[in-house]
Structure 1
Amino acid sequence: MKSVTTAETSLFNFAQFETSKEVQLSLYKRLLKPRLIEEKMLVLLRQGKISKWFSGIGQEAISVGVTSALEKEEYILPMHRNLGVFTTREIPLHRLFSQWQGKKSGFTKGRDRSFHFGTQEFKIVGMISHLGPQLGVADGIALAHKLRNEKKVTAVFSGEGGTSEGDFHEALNIASVWQLPVLFCIENNGYGLSTPTNEQYFCEHIADRGKGYGMEAHIIDGNNILEVYQKVNEIAISLRKNPRPVLLEFKTFRMRGHEEASGTKYVPQELMDTWEKKDPVTNFQQYLLEQGTLTEEQDTQFRKAIKKEINEHLKLANAEEPINSTVEEELNDVYAPFQFTETKPTSAKKEIRLIDAISEGLRQSLEKYDELVVMGQDIADYGGVFKITEGFVEKFGKDRIRNTPICESGIVAAAMGLSMNKMKAVVEMQFGDFVSSGFNPIVNYLAKINYRWNQNADVVVRMPCGAGVGAGPFHSQTNEAWFTKTPGLKVVYPAFPQDAKGLLTASIEDPNPVLFFEHKALYRSIRQEVSEDYFTIPLGKAAHLKEGNSVSIITYGAGVHWALDHLASNAEIDADLIDLRTLQPLDEEAIFNSVKRTGKVLLLQEDSMFGGIMSDISALIAEHCFEDLDAPIKRVASLPTPIPFAANLEEKYLAKHRLATSLEELLAY
């Protein structure tokens, strides 16, 4: 490797950082390892033996220095240019090589590539391509440590491009408001793919943003391994004693393309030449040689040993058979394993409203699970806009009943972090409509994470939803179809107080992500005798409300009550009525049994028609019950418009307005 002159090493002034020779040699070996692996990977890439590579050459000092400063039990959330995090945590190289080749000894069973994985064994949580959510996940991990009074720091990486995302603002804001011990490590490496920093942000330093969050911020030379290690170590020690977030901007440069196919033609050559002189490996090597801390012979031995390890572990990975799987295996890994044990309801009952049943189920779950945290806007002293958590703060305290800033994406991501760090989370969307602001972490992080690397997402998102209360286009949607099509999510939609309580407690027990829909128009209008003690109802089981032989009415949510009201007024209709209760997983058996008995089916949903869940249920019935049908399948849904505010417009919008006519037409067929 090319050495540099003494004048060039003075760029870093390593001598100002007081570290022992043992530490310096350890850091050098740790710095050397990812560099040599990268050089080997670039050869393999040219040979077509790996499919893609995101190079961190020139940035190794940041990954190595930060990881070396943290304790082994402290979580790190790296990016795809942070190979030094993985090697410094001493992950066996053959497992990394197998991961990059999509083989079984990797961490994702061939289901995700490169550094898109995590491992609880090494306390590493890998990124997803939507960069921002991992910043919020770090908040959740740190919150769990803080709630348990554990003196630990969490470090999360992003690039300067990632700081343009809203998730960056949300994560820093949450961490600042809650004073969480998070190190936000921003690698300012000059370019986001091909976009230079002057087109990415309009301030001199990213660290300057810390002031806006009331947050301590530091600028660190990301190519100086001793500066990175010493400063991060000092800050981490301080954070363990006095928990708070810190923004770290590491000045560095990306010496290769965003990924190898991108190249670097868009980078001025003079800029490349300037940063080449600041190479973190060659400069530190020269300094150690000059100081006598490292000899040429030692350096040669280090390199030989690392190359030998690389080649031996590559042989292990190359010898491994290509990944294979079965359909059953693939389907089984979508959800985290969960052995549901039903807690039967007691005979002691009291008549309460649906809203009271939800509140009671939530309260009893908080009593059962000390590790459960409830988060949402205005849910603490105010009790939530629907008063479901009224009085909870007095009983459980503000640590567990947490008011959040208005940042749905950051809070859903934080809930994921709590789950990663051995806790449970319930997130209340103030209105289900607002989930669009937290959509990305739900469908791309929570839903996929168990399938990707066997990490459960123990998160329930409560969704006050539905029309009929004159709330207009932004507070009345019933948007369950956004989620029923996403593998990895469970979707629950109760219509009665007893079901609402038992299904909510079961959802909280379940280690998988659950979207729990609560119809606002039913909150205070529907009453029922509800078991007083804690109980659960299994997800995925429909309720058979009425038995009949002429027609099957299959519905859920408010549609159940529309159907019941209509049948009560038309006693001559011999209808079989199914309340789905859970939309994912779906009780297909109950649906098919009903249709086969009656021969006619009406599918009723409050959502608009196209793309709604009843379209899929219609297809299932057509596939499995075609020969049993005596009439075309009838779908009844709301109009394909946003939901209007005025009462007479809303009434005509709703599927309820077309139920009687549609049922009459079907029965007459």
Structure 2
Amino acid sequence: MRYHIGDFDNEVLIQLYERMLKPRMIEEKMLILLRQGKISKWFSGIGQEAISVGVASALKNEEYILPMHRNLGVFTTRNVPLNRLFAQWQGKASGFTKGRDRSFHFGSQEHKIVGMISHLGPQLGVADGIALADSLRRKKRVTAVFTGEGATSEGDFHEALNVASVWNLPVLFCIENNGYGLSTPTNEQYNCEHLADRAKGYGMECRIIEGNNILEVYSKVSELCKAIRKRPRPVFLEFKTFRMRGHEEASGTKYVPEKLMAKWAKKDPISNYETFLLEKKVLTSAYIENLKAEITEEINSNLELAFNEEPISSTLSNEIGDVYQSFENEIVKPSENTSNIRFVDAISNGLRQSMERHNELIIMGQDVAEYGGVFKITEGFTKEFGRSRVRNTPICESAIVSAAMGLSINGMKAVVEMQFADFVTSGFNPVVNYLAKVHYRWGQNADVVVRMPCGGGVGAGPFHSQTNEAWFTKTPGLKVVYPAFPKDAKGLLITSINDPNPVLFFEHKGLYRSVYGDVPDDYYTLPLGKASILRTGNAVSIVSYGAGVHWALETLEKHPEIDAELIDLRTLQPLDVDTIYESVKKTGRLIILQEDSLFGGIASDISALVMENCFEYLDAPVKRVASLETPIPFAANLEADYLPKKRFEENLLELMAY
């Protein structure tokens, strides 16, 4: 292996050696502990240290880096305390995830490190969001993100590269091509000579770097970082390297030809570099021996700290309490000045006033800029706030949700518009696995609102009409809001944007231009988790939300003899169970109306909760009314039969006659 010293002085040469040696020695110790059963799992980066150390050394400390589970050298180069790393791997309290996640699945704002999730792809989109925040603030910074050649087969990889290129984001996409995705060789992962060739399709610069040569990695990445800070742009780096151990230790390496293992063993980044430095008399054998002794002592003393720490324990309140970041809603009361406006105008008004209130709030979505979105909610926003804050996106929901997460990590707020709620399936992974879990895992909030135009009754068919709130109400870590009236829509949207936690904000398309209401002109907030009692009564409790509330009101107008109490939930997570219980205890009857299909919906959970907590107060079985157990059809008569409006009236009358 050829090393070119260039302008590097001995201090730099020795520092790079030390930085590679430490993670290697830690790994060797971890493999012993794994065999002893003192840690549960290990993903080895032996043979790849030059990449982690070289990239981390080239970045400034204030620049974010997003490593993978084979990048221990990133953590040690950033001087993450070893006792905390060891505690993390043992599931101890002084680790970074309070025992809730393992190995390198964590981040540390102090060290500007953002750890991966097992669904590898979203990490790349998160890097886009972090870099976007730096660009908007005009900070000359680089964000580096790692992934392996296997993950380049994921759609998130391609989405993230496309977004970074279109938006000219200062991201270093660092691909560690180590030959195998678990046991799958590269010839079964891609059909091009070099992964770097893919960058050309995105109009992106690319480099192929010898990943086992620390001086090549450090010098080339340093040069690129300096250039990117001057002229922000993404760059694709393919590091040619090899994985000398299994994907994780249990999988072994029997699938790798012995000749290939032997070939790469000769390219070991540490032993080769060490030999080079000895030949150049930059190092001496005595120095190496002393250095290894120092690192061994550092490892052992910090291991002792971690081993001596008591096994982690927690309480129910701690576990539940850490799912969300604490949030005390600032109550801003509505003004007396109101305007009678449509539901769609109330949403637009709330968004506009939030953009005025939060200078670092970014709106992202397909066609949301000059076009104003397909429902014209952001029409005129680019003139008021500029294209940097109101951003058209490529058609790539997953990367944009991930980018919103990156904005939050870098201290900004984001509102993402799903053109239709149905399309959230293309971004489902980062919503339920990243946004929802990130605070519970390592205390990082996801300051993201995902707007979800939803619902039927407009003849839009199976792919533009779903009301899919139940996918998210059962996912801890997400908040779900679903207003029925313009005043509520504005106040709840403003609160959702203020809330540092991820919110799925459902907006029924059928209400957009059909429902009017008196809405305060000024900025105001409404609390999440508080239902609204629209009518008081003593004979039956009706619980609904969204369009269902209006169907219930129409039904009650037809039957003034029914003394019903009508509850509009407004938010589904958190759910105002107290208001429901109080009403049921008074009326003795409950019927729940939802637009979603019946099985597994919110009505089922409300019914179960009432049966568990208010059974002795009931005078009749709880009724659930919902849409048919089919996809939503297009033709008007079929859609009318699918929706539960007519069946609600029948079931209500049946309940009253029980």
Please give the per-residue CA displacement for 1:332-383, whole angstroms capped at 9, x wherever unaligned: 0000111212111010000000000000000000000001000000000100
- Among candidates 395, 419, 424, match of residue 413 of structure 2: 424
Distance, in Å, in 2 between the alignment partners of 1:331 and 1:189 is 40
Q: Is the 8 A contact 1:601 1:633 kept in 2?
A: yes
Q: CA deviation at 1:16?
A: 5.6
Q: Does 1:448 align with 2:448?
A: no
Distance, in Å, in 1 between the alignment partners of 2:179 and 2:2 is 23
Q: State the match for 1:4 in structure 2.
A: none
Please give the per-residue CA displacement for 1:559-590, whole angstroms capped at 9, x wherever unaligned: 00000011112111100000000000000000
Q: Does 1:629 align with 2:618?
A: yes
Q: CA deviation at 1:258?
A: 0.3
Q: Is the 8 A contact 1:17 1:226 kept in 2?
A: no
Find the residue that maps to 2:4 and give its secondary structure.
Answer: helix
Distance, in Å, in 2 between the alignment partners of 1:566 and 1:224 is 74
Aligned runs of 1:78-477 on 2, under 5 Å? 78-477=67-466
Task: Flag structure 1 segments of 5+ consecutive residues without an equivalent.
Answer: 1-11
Find the residue that maps to 2:145 and give its secondary structure.
Answer: strand
Q: Does 1:560 align with 2:533?
A: no
Given residue 417 of structure 2, which amino acid in structure 1 is its aligned partner? E
Given residue 563 of structure 1, which amino acid in structure 2 is its aligned partner? A
Find the residue that maps to 1:387 and give its secondary structure.
Answer: coil
Given residue 285 of structure 1, which amino acid in structure 2 is its aligned partner? E
Q: State the match for 2:514 in structure 1.
A: 525
Distance, in Å, in 2 between the alignment partners of 1:301 and 1:69 is 26
Root-mean-square deviation over aligned CA pairs: 0.5
Q: Is the 8 A contact 2:5 2:215 kept in 1?
A: no
Q: CA deviation at 1:657?
A: 2.1
Distance, in Å, in 2 between the alignment partners of 1:214 and 1:141 is 21
Distance, in Å, in 2 between the alignment partners of 1:247 and 1:214 is 10
Find the residue that maps to 1:121 and give its secondary structure.
Answer: helix
Distance, in Å, in 2 between the alignment partners of 1:446 and 1:416 is 7
Identity within the alignment, %: 72
Distance, in Å, in 1 between the alignment partners of 2:537 and 2:4 is 86
Q: Is the 8 A contact 1:142 1:153 kept in 2?
A: yes
- Among candidates 34, 37, 43, match of residue 48 of structure 1: 37
- State the number of aligned residues: 658
Distance, in Å, in 2 between the alignment partners of 1:528 and 1:238 is 55
Q: Is the 8 A contact 1:350 1:529 kept in 2?
A: yes
Q: CA deviation at 1:17?
A: 4.1
Q: Is the 8 A contact 2:4 2:216 kept in 1?
A: no
Q: CA deviation at 1:20?
A: 1.3
Q: State the match for 1:583 in structure 2.
A: 572
- Among candidates 24, 32, 37, match of residue 13 of structure 2: 24
Please give the per-residue CA displacement for 1:462-507, whole angstroms capped at 9, x wherever unaligned: 0000000000000000000000000000000000000000000000
Q: Is the 8 A contact 1:352 1:527 kept in 2?
A: yes
Distance, in Å, in 2 between the alignment partners of 1:618 and 1:586 is 13
Q: Is the 8 A contact 1:17 1:227 kept in 2?
A: no
- Farther off after superposition, 297-306 or 516-525: 297-306
Q: CA deviation at 1:105?
A: 0.6
Q: State the match for 1:6 in structure 2.
A: none
Q: Is the 8 A contact 1:99 1:108 kept in 2?
A: yes
Given residue 532 of structure 1, which amino acid in structure 2 is its aligned partner? D
Distance, in Å, in 1 between the alignment partners of 2:498 and 2:156 is 28
Given residue 606 of structure 1, which amino acid in structure 2 is its aligned partner? E
Q: State the match for 2:601 in structure 1.
A: 612
Find the residue that maps to 1:652 and give its secondary structure.
Answer: helix
TM-score, normalised via structure 1 length: 0.98
- Among candidates 577, 583, 592, match of residue 581 of structure 2: 592
Please give the per-residue CA displacement for 1:576-626, whole angstroms capped at 9, x wherever unaligned: 000000000000000101111100000000000000011000000000000
Given residue 326 of structure 1, which amino acid in structure 2 is its aligned partner? T
Q: State the match for 2:538 in structure 1.
A: 549
Distance, in Å, in 1 between the alignment partners of 2:656 and 2:560 is 14
Q: Is the 8 A contact 1:207 1:218 kept in 2?
A: yes
Distance, in Å, in 1 between the alignment partners of 2:617 and 2:373 is 48
Distance, in Å, in 2 between the alignment partners of 1:260 and 1:645 is 53
Q: CA deviation at 1:85?
A: 0.2
Dislocated runs of 4+, deviation >2 Å: 15-18
TM-score, normalised via structure 2 length: 1.00
Please give the per-residue CA displacement for 1:132-190, whole angstroms capped at 9, x wherever unaligned: 00000000000000000000000000000000000000000000000000000000000
Q: Is the 8 A contact 2:491 2:525 kept in 1?
A: yes
Distance, in Å, in 2 between the alignment partners of 1:266 and 1:583 is 50
Task: Flag structure 2 segments of 5+ consecutive residues without an equivalent.
Answer: none
Find the residue that maps to 1:146 and give its secondary structure.
Answer: helix
Distance, in Å, in 2 between the alignment partners of 1:554 and 1:407 is 36
